[in-house]
Amino acid sequence: MKKFLLQAERNLISGALVLLPLLVFFILLGKVWKFFQNYGEKFAHFLRLDLILGKYATDIVGGMILVVLIYLSGFLMRLSILKRFTNWVDEKLMIFLPGYEKNKKEAEEKLLKRNHEPKPVTDLPILFKNGDFWQPAHLIEEDENGSAVIFIPNAPAKDQGQILIVKSTDFKKLSDTTLGSLDASIKSFGKGILSFK
């Protein structure tokens, strides 16, 4: 009976961890869509589209405003100030929304496959072999000759540290670990690193 209760508890916790990011995503999506529907309704009424298309005019015009805004944002992303701001927002979302980084990476991979662009190897969590011990680090770049550029952060700051050029045999990739998890561990002076894989 005790084993069954432990298993049930684990399943409930795992289920909550899976559903929580989805729930947050759909709540945010609903709020964003409602925002664009409000403006879509105003524009549809102004252009008299609501007389032609009826209640669907709000959704159509709201969707068109959203698409135009996304398209214009693509041009704005070329500005370095906006790109830094977007990266800052990404970092905060990785901390406060569980599963955000994983979902973002999956979306980027799908876009890269659609555009037939090879995915660059940038900023992956690794453990660097330094003598008899291992250090958490970021894999920045890797080439075919077996050389790699890595960044070793100084705890607790994740954006200050050393840049080293090493051999690919001197580190192991943490394929099941996200950068957000690694950075959070570095901020807390290594707490949780032993469970990284």
Q: At 150, phi and psi to the nearest 5?
A: -125, 155
d(CA 11, CA 14): 5
Domain spans of the chain, in order of start: 2-114, 124-195
Check whether domain 124-195 has CATH 2.30.30, yes or no: yes
Structure-token pair, residue 27 = 């709540």
The count of C-alpha atoms lying within 13 angstroms of the C-alpha of 166, restricted to the half-sphere facing its C-beta, is: 20
pTM of the model: 0.39
Residue 145 is predicted with a pLDDT of 86
> What totals of helices (H) and strands (E) does the chain contain, helices first?
6, 5
**Per-residue pLDDT for the chain (197 aa), expressed as one digit of tens each?**
778 888 888 778 777 777 777 787 788 888 888 888 888 888 888 888 878 888 788 888 888 888 888 887 776 666 666 667 777 777 777 777 767 777 777 777 776 666 554 444 557 888 888 888 888 888 988 888 889 999 988 887 777 888 989 998 889 888 878 877 888 888 888 788 887 87
Residue 87 is predicted with a pLDDT of 75
Q: What is the largest CA-CA distance in the chain?
A: 75
**Contact yes or no for 137/150 (Cβ under 8 A):** yes
Handedness of CA 178, 97, 107, 81 (dihedral sign): negative
Residue 85 is predicted with a pLDDT of 75
The count of C-alpha atoms lying within 13 angstroms of the C-alpha of 92, restricted to the half-sphere facing its C-beta, is: 6
